[in-house]
Amino acid sequence: MSWTDERVELLKKMWGEGQSASQIAKELGGVTRNAVIGKVHRLGLSNRATAASTPAPEKKAAKPAASKAKAAPKSAPKEKVVEVTVAPRKPIVPAGQPLPPQPSANEISPEALANVREVEKTSKKISLMELTERTCKWPIGDPATEDFWFCGLSVQQGKPYCEAHVGVAFQPMSSRRDRRR
């Protein structure tokens, strides 16, 4: 399929009318939605989300000519309202001040942490290259230092970690629900 002048004009017209790339691709036939999007970018056609708030005068002038050919009853064009929601940012902690406690760290029971510490004393301390599907992949230490390894004990069936690390990594569903309230 090649982009003939007629197909490009139809693409421009449909894009200006606010039709989706999928609708345009279906109408043109022989092209995909992604091909339409690529052509729109190469042609430098405007982003409709920003163009909807300030419509270009030339688009309004081109519309009446197209509507005469259709002979359909004309209604007032509806403006699209685009709402943008921005998630609130977490407060920035200045350098040198301690970070506030993280909820996930406070949720782990002291017994589970004690169990993990005991297990880590007896871990196999294997490197990344020694990991297999049967070895615990729990990282221990700082990866930027020489004193870094993976647990390496036998994994719990269907999990990537040993029994002790599974107890820390995977929380029951009910405790996660309670935390949200």
- pLDDT class for 46, splitting at 50, 70, 90? confident
The domain in which residue 165 lies consists of 104-180
Residue 161 has pLDDT above 80, yes or no: yes
Using only C-alpha atoms, what is the Rg of the chain? 30
User: Same structural domain for residues 15 and 65?
Assistant: yes
User: Same structural domain for residues 112 and 176?
Assistant: yes
pTM surpassing 0.85?
A: no
Name the most confidently modeled range: 80-89, 97-106, 136-145.
Answer: 136-145
Would you say 157 and 112 are in contact if contact means Cβ atoms under 8 Å apart?
Answer: no
Report if residue 128 sits inside a domain: yes
CB atoms under 10 Å from CB of 167, counted, come to 19
Please tell me the total count of domains within the chain: 2
Q: What are the backbone dihedrals phi and psi of residue 148, each rounded to the nearest 5 degrees, phi first?
A: -135, 135
- Both structure tokens of 164: 């002790």
User: Same structural domain for residues 175 and 112?
Assistant: yes
Average pLDDT estimate for 166-176:
71
Report if residue 16 sits inside a domain: yes
Helix (H) or strand (E) segment spanning residue 164: helix 163-169
Residue 147 has pLDDT above 70, yes or no: yes
Cα angle for residues 3, 8, 71 (degrees, 5° grid) = 140
Report if residue 169 sits inside a domain: yes
- pLDDT class for 105, splitting at 50, 70, 90? very low
User: Same structural domain for residues 161 and 109?
Assistant: yes
User: Same structural domain for residues 176 and 108?
Assistant: yes
Report if residue 89 sits inside a domain: no
Report if residue 87 sits inside a domain: no
